Structures are given as C-alpha cells and as structure tokens.
Amino acid sequence: MPPGSSGPSQQRPTKAMLEAARNAEVPDIIAPGLDVLFCGINPSLYSAAVGHHFARPGNRFWPALHHAGFTPRQLRPQEEARLLDHRLGITNLAARATASAAELSAAELRRGGEALRHKLARYRPRVLAVLGITAYRTAFAAPKARLGPQPGCIAGVPIWVLPNPSGLNAHYRLLELAAVYGELRAALDSGFAAAPPDQ
C-alpha cells in the first residue's frame, strides 16, 4: 500500500522504506480558526514512510485524544483529515523525520519555534497544544516551563503543554496520558481561551 493510503489497514513499512523516509515531511493538518492545533516534536520515520501523523505502533496520540473527549471515537492515523471536522489540527516543531527526536539540535527546535510563530499568526487557532515539555522549553527558551497552560501567548495564541504521546514516554500510561489531555478538553469546555486571540 503506498504512502498516504487511507484503506482500512496500513501495511507496515519495510526497513528500506523507513530509511528512505529520513528527512521526509508529513503535511500539516491545519485550517483557520481551529479550537486546538496540536504540535508534535517531529515525525518519526514510520509516520513519514506511511504519510500520516503519529502512525508508529505504540504511539498513544489517537487513543489519548479519544479518551480525553476530543473525538467521539478513536481515529486511525489514515483518518487524520477528519480532525478538521472537530476543529482540531496537527503540525510539528521540526518538519523533517528522524529515527529519534534526540537527533534534532537545539538550534533546529528554535528555528521550528519561530516558524510555528508565523503559522499561528496565519491560522489563529484558539489554543496551541505542544506535545513535549522538553522540546517546548528548548524551542521557546522557557527552561522552567511545566505541563499545562503557559504564561503569555505566542503570536497572540494561548499555549498549553502536554506530555509527548510516544510509546517511549514511560512516565505516562495511556489512561494517565488521556487524563492530562482531558484537562485541556475540560478547560476549553469551561471557556479557556474563548475570546479571539489578540494580535
């Protein structure tokens, strides 16, 4: 099955396909006026090989999103475009795929933060949710940042930092991860960032 296929099942990429996906990009799922723009660190080789975000087996993004109340059922990575129906989107701090986020330099993350600033100014989501506290601290020079809502905004958009959903993040089991993601869902339902972001 070729990359980008949306069939009922996704063929696992071969080792050669994974290596060929190095430095490839996965297109953003984005539109103006989203409720939440989720921002990952960068695509895995698996995600780049199949052409969908958070596609690597073991990644908890899609089940956490569902259990947190963002989607009525668990979407498959191939169904990522349906996020727009729920006013949700996906982007990344660094566009290029790597075997590990550790391959990204601090300078690359900072450049990604600046590119994200321009993207926020263009699309104006209600909230930016960054998936990874360490990457957020580096990209935005916020070494003392903690999970949850952040002081101030970026390009007028409020920021909420969530744990990285990668299966390699052993600090959170799925239901614990979903509970933390659910805090953002509850805040939105209670009116967090309800007013249009300032210029």
Q: Candidates 3.90.1330.10, 2.40.50.100, 3.40.470.10, 3.60.15.10; correct CATH number of 26-189?
A: 3.40.470.10
The dihedral formed by the CA atoms of 128, 132, 136 and 137, expressed in degrees to the nearest 10: 150
Q: Is 8 exposed, middle or buried (0-12, 13-18, 19+ CB in 10 A)?
A: exposed
| pTM score, whole prediction | 0.92
CA pseudo-torsion sign 100, 117, 181, 69: negative
What pLDDT is recorded for position 168? 78
What average pLDDT does the chain have?
Answer: 92
Task: Give CA–CA dist 74/60, Å, rounded.
Answer: 11
Residue 179 pLDDT grade (very low, low, confident, very high; cuts 50, 70, 90): very high
Residue 48 pLDDT grade (very low, low, confident, very high; cuts 50, 70, 90): very high
What pLDDT is recorded for position 56? 94
pLDDT tens digits for 6-46? 344 568 999 999 999 999 999 999 999 999 999 999 999 99
What pLDDT is recorded for position 8? 44
Task: Give CA–CA dist 132/116, Å, rounded.
Answer: 15
CB of 91 within 8 A of CB of 23? no
Residue 152: partners with Cβ closer than 8 Å, 6 or more residues away: 159
Statement: residue 139 has pLDDT above 60: yes
Long-range pairs of 177-181 with CB within 8 A, sequence gap ≥ 24: 177/60, 177/64, 178/63, 178/64, 178/66, 178/67, 178/68, 179/68, 180/147, 181/64, 181/65, 181/67, 181/68, 181/70
Q: How far is CA 41 from the centre of its chain?
A: 7
Q: Mean pLDDT, to the nearest integer, of 150-163? A: 96
What pLDDT is recorded for position 10? 64
Q: Specify the higher pLDDT residue, 4 or 35.
A: 35
